Structures are given as structure tokens and as C-alpha cells.
Amino acid sequence: MTETPLDAPRAWAELTDPAEPAQRLRVDLTWLTSRWRCIFGAGCHGIDAAQPDAGCCTLGAHLTDDDDVARVAAVAQRLGPDEWQLRDEALAEGWLVDTEDDDADGPPSRATRVVDGGCIFLNRPGFPAGAGCALHQHAVAEGVEPLTTKPDVCWQLPLRRTYRDVELPDGTAYLEITITEYDRRAWGPGGHDLDWYCTGSPEAHTGAEPVFVSLRPELVELVGPEAYAVLARLCEEHLAATAAQTRAAGPDGRPLLPLLVHPATRAAGTLRTE
């Protein structure tokens, strides 16, 4: 099935953050109401065809700040050898490295080490605890959200949050926070060279729930509970409008096209119109 073009039309909504009136959220309804789900271990091809079992972990994870490093370090100390396949490697050589793209004028950029084509926290197929991120698996075993154990970039993916200062003609200004799909472009220039990527692939748009529901904990962490409540209502209204449009008959008696649906969700056949 064909991957969704990067510039496919999208529906957006804007809202003032109920908790921070000086902020406005710009949310991608097309993405948030899509049926994307992570298919790691269930058909994921991986971003590198030579390492399909590594999913999107082939490049390691770039840590955002000291708090990000501290959170992951605390979890890494609690992981036992039955949970973390490369624990001995990490104890001997470390799990954190400085990256080559450091800004000489800023703090060092840090990332998880890459070992044999994958993040050092990635358990490979055949490991007794199962393949996948040791940090994620630890969270599941402890009954906590993975966002409390994983690097920021990992638990946020495939959501993307960006910031922009907006100045209005009357001299006022606000901070615009955009929540959208972490598509190929978000990876930088190299994103266009990924062998496969899930967000635009119909193979990954087979979720039982829309993204704004399935990724609720992550969205609440990104925008706060008050803003999420408004975001969820807008998504529900969008889905209702899309369903009504899909059921309606056009001038020639044929159903109208669901123009507000993520193309990958439509191609996957998981659009709900009931």
C-alpha cells in the first residue's frame, strides 16, 4: 500500500490553552483522529531494511536535557539482567555517548549508545524477556506509563510538539504550540532516506482507537489535562462530522468522500462511520 504523501491536505484546529491563556494550541485533527498504532513486532519493517527487528531504534535516542538523562539513568540502574539484554555491555562501556553534532557554544548533545545496529536498550529477538525496549518493558511490568521511563524523543514519537512565537497586528503576542504527526521530515534531511516509516503507512493504521485516545497519557503530558479535554472534544466533533459526511449522499446518489480522514487510515479501511 502506498505511503501517504507528506503534503496531503490536513484539518487543523486552534484553541487557547485553558491553563495558560498566553498560549494557543494548534492541533492536527487529521493525525489525532487517525487509526495509527505502533506495530513493532507485529509487521513493522523498521526504518533500516537491514535491521527490521530494531524498528525505529537503529539510531539510538537523543536526550533532550539533564532531566531526560537523569530519568533514564535512574531506570537503567534498576534494570536487572533478566530485563536488559545488553546490561553487561552498558556496565562496561556506558550507555550514554556525546554525539558528533555538538554545538560548541551550547551544552553537549547526548544520546544512547548504538550497539550492533540498535539502541543499547533494545532487547533483540530471542531474549527471554522478549524483543523490544527494555525501558518500555520495565514500565509495563511495573504498571506505570512508559513516558516515565523512556527518553523524551521515544515516548513522544510519533507525536511532534513544536513552538513558535506569534506577534499579532495589535502588538500582542502568544506562544503557539503545535501538536502534529512526527513524519519523515521531523527526522531531518535523513528522514527522506528511511527505508520505511510507519506514520504514513496504511499497514500501521489499524488501531482500534484513534490516536487522541490511544495516546492520551502522552498528549496529557505534552499539553496538560485542561487543554487535552478541549483537544479531545474537538477530535470527537471532527470524527462525528467526518462520519456524517461519509454517510451523506452526493448529488449523483453516491457517498461523499471522507476528505477529512488521514489517507493512510482510509487506505487501511479502518475508518469508522457508525
pLDDT by position in tens, the chain (length 274): 689 999 999 999 999 999 999 999 999 999 999 999 999 999 999 999 999 999 999 999 999 999 999 999 999 999 999 999 999 999 999 999 998 765 555 566 899 999 999 999 999 999 999 999 999 999 999 999 999 999 999 999 999 999 999 999 999 999 999 999 999 999 999 999 999 999 999 999 999 999 999 999 999 999 999 999 999 999 999 999 888 876 665 555 555 555 578 888 888 877 654 4
Calculate the alpha carbon distances from 138 to 77, 128, 201 in Å. 12, 14, 28
Structural domain contains residue 1:
no
Q: Are residues 265 and 184 in the same domain?
A: yes
Q: How many domains does the chain have?
A: 2
Handedness of CA 81, 84, 89, 94 (dihedral sign): negative
Indicate whether 265 and 200 sit together in one domain.
yes
Measured CA to CA, the distance from residue 58 to residue 46 in angstroms comes to 8
Q: Does 206 lie in the same domain as 110?
A: no
> What separation in angstroms does the CA of 167 have from each of 52, 170, 175, 184?
45, 8, 9, 29
Is the separation of the CB atoms in 52 and 44 below 8 Å? yes
Q: Are residues 226 and 119 in the same domain?
A: no
Q: How many C-beta neighbours within 10 Å does residue 162 have? A: 11
Domain end point (choices 126, 156, 186): 156
Kindly state whether residue 52 falls inside one of the protein's structural domains.
no
- Specify whether 34 is located in the same domain as 90: no
Q: Which helix (H) or strand (E) holds 213?
A: helix 211-214
Tell me: do 150 and 209 sit in the same domain.
Answer: no
Residue 258's pLDDT is 52
Q: Domain range spanning residue 65?
A: 57-156
Last residue of a domain, one of 133, 156, 179: 156
Q: Which helix (H) or strand (E) holds 147?
A: none
Q: What is the pLDDT of residues 238-247, one digit of tens each?
A: 999 888 876 6
The single residue listed with the C-alpha cell 538523562 is: 69
Q: Is residue 185 part of a domain?
A: yes
Q: Express each pLDDT in 193-220 by its tens digit.
A: 999 999 999 999 999 999 999 999 999 9
Q: Both 271 and 189 in a single domain?
A: yes
Shared domain for 63 and 37, answered yes or no, is no
